[in-house]
Amino acid sequence: MRKKFGIIGYPLGQSASPAFFNSKFANEGIDAEYIPFEIADINELPRIIAENPELCGFNVTIPYKVQVMQYLGSISDEAKAIDAVNVVKVTHGADGTAHLTGHNSDVIGFTRSLAPLLEEHHKKALILGTGGASKAIACSLRSLGIEYLFVSRKESENAIAYAQLTDDIMSQHTLIVNCTPLGMVGHAIDQCPDIPYGKLTAKHLLYDIVYNPQDTLFLQKGAQAGAATKSGYEMWYLQALASWEIWNS
Give the separation between CA 39 and CA 51, rounded to whole angstroms: 14
> Is 124 tagged catalytic?
no
Give yes or no for a contact between 71 and 43, defined as CB atoms under 8 angstroms apart: no
Distance of CA 231 to the CA centre of its chain: 12
Q: How far is CA 212 from CA 1, 120, 181, in A?
A: 33, 30, 10
Instruction: Tell me the C-alpha to C-alpha distance, in Å, between residue 17 and each of 58, 168, 174, 220, 225.
Output: 10, 40, 31, 25, 32
Q: How many helices (H) and strands (E) does the chain have?
A: 8, 12
Rounded-to-integer distance, Cα 29 and Cα 232, Å: 28
End-to-end CA distance of the chain: 19
125 Cβ neighbours under 8 A, 6+ residues apart:
141, 146, 147, 148, 149, 173, 174, 175, 176, 177
Report angle CA 118, 199, 174 to the nearest 5 degrees.
15
Indicate which residue of 3, 4, 24, 65 is catalytic.
65
CA pair distance 218, 152, nearest whole angstrom: 15
Positions annotated as catalytic residues are 65
